Amino acid sequence: MLSSKELKQQAKDSLKGRWGQAVLLNLVPTLITIALIMIIAIPTALLLAHTYNDPAAVQDMANNTNGGAASSGGGIVSGIISALFMSGISWTYLDILRGTKSTIEPFKDAFRGFTGLFLGGVILLAILISIFTTLWALLFVIPGIIKSYSYSQSYFIYYDVITETGEKPGVLNTITASRKLMDGYKGKLFWLDLSFIGWHILAMLTAGIGYLWLNPYITATKAAFYEQLPKNV
């Protein structure tokens, strides 16, 4: 396994001459999220304005006990959509790193997780990983964090199996494969994440604009990490 510095250098080399495409690839999900928020926010604002002027409606809202469930459901949907976008983006950087892809097509590659054999599997992976991680976190925070690192390679493994065999692997088998693949490497990935703390601080100082460049850098580095893992597990 290469050092964190070497993995980062691989990521930078793979992004050389592609930073503009990478930034746009990272920006696509953000723009879509903003658009969805606007679509939802405007009708919601109108509804609240009407409700405010209707005391009976206000009382109905106060007596409604399903708010927590709705919020939880929204969180699940948000997590699934994020997984669909991030899986496609991660696979793109992996292909660039491997040399099987030479250019980034932002408006196409951002939606790779939504297509063909990938869609259903990514959704199930997102749901099961969230459930498993949450259950482990109920024991204590640390086990939940450890398990999140154990399951972190699931989307890469799912992608590789489909592209190599043309068949969908079992979702539980994919999660198990990730857990085995990360045996002895969870600490390595943890320290790799820690090495980006300084960059996170700088990105936050730019009011978040710096993440347009930082996120591709991190995601490409994670792809380089996966590529270095021994696959004979």
Query: Could you read off the pLDDT of 45-83 as tens digits, one per residue?
Result: 555 555 555 555 444 544 544 444 444 555 677 788 889
Say what the pLDDT of residue 75 is. Answer: 66
For residues 100 and 227, the answer to whether their CB atoms sit within 8 Å is no
Torsion of CA 20, 25, 30, 34, to 10 degrees: 90
Say what the pLDDT of residue 233 is. Answer: 53
Q: Which residues of the chain have pLDDT under 70?
A: 36-37, 40-75, 232-233
What string of DSSP letters covers the chain?
Answer: ---HHHHHHHHHHHHTT-HHHHHHHHHHHHHHHHHHHHHHHHHHHHHHHHHHT-HHHHHHHHH---HHHHHHHHHHHHHHHHHHHHHHHHHHHHHHHHTS--S--HHHHTTGGGSTTHHHHHHHHHHHHHHHHHHHHHH-HHHHHHHHHHTTTHHHHHHHHHHHHSSPPPHHHHHHHHHHHTTTTHHHHHHHHHTTHHHHHHHHHTTTTTHHHHHHHHHHHHHHHHHHS----
Q: How far apart are CA 103 and CA 173, in angstroms?
A: 32
Say what the pLDDT of residue 192 is. Answer: 96
User: What length is written for the chain?
Assistant: 233
Q: How far apart are CA 218 and CA 221, in angstroms?
A: 5
Mean pLDDT of the chain: 86
For residues 125 and 158, the answer to whether their CB atoms sit within 8 Å is yes
Say what the pLDDT of residue 68 is. Answer: 47
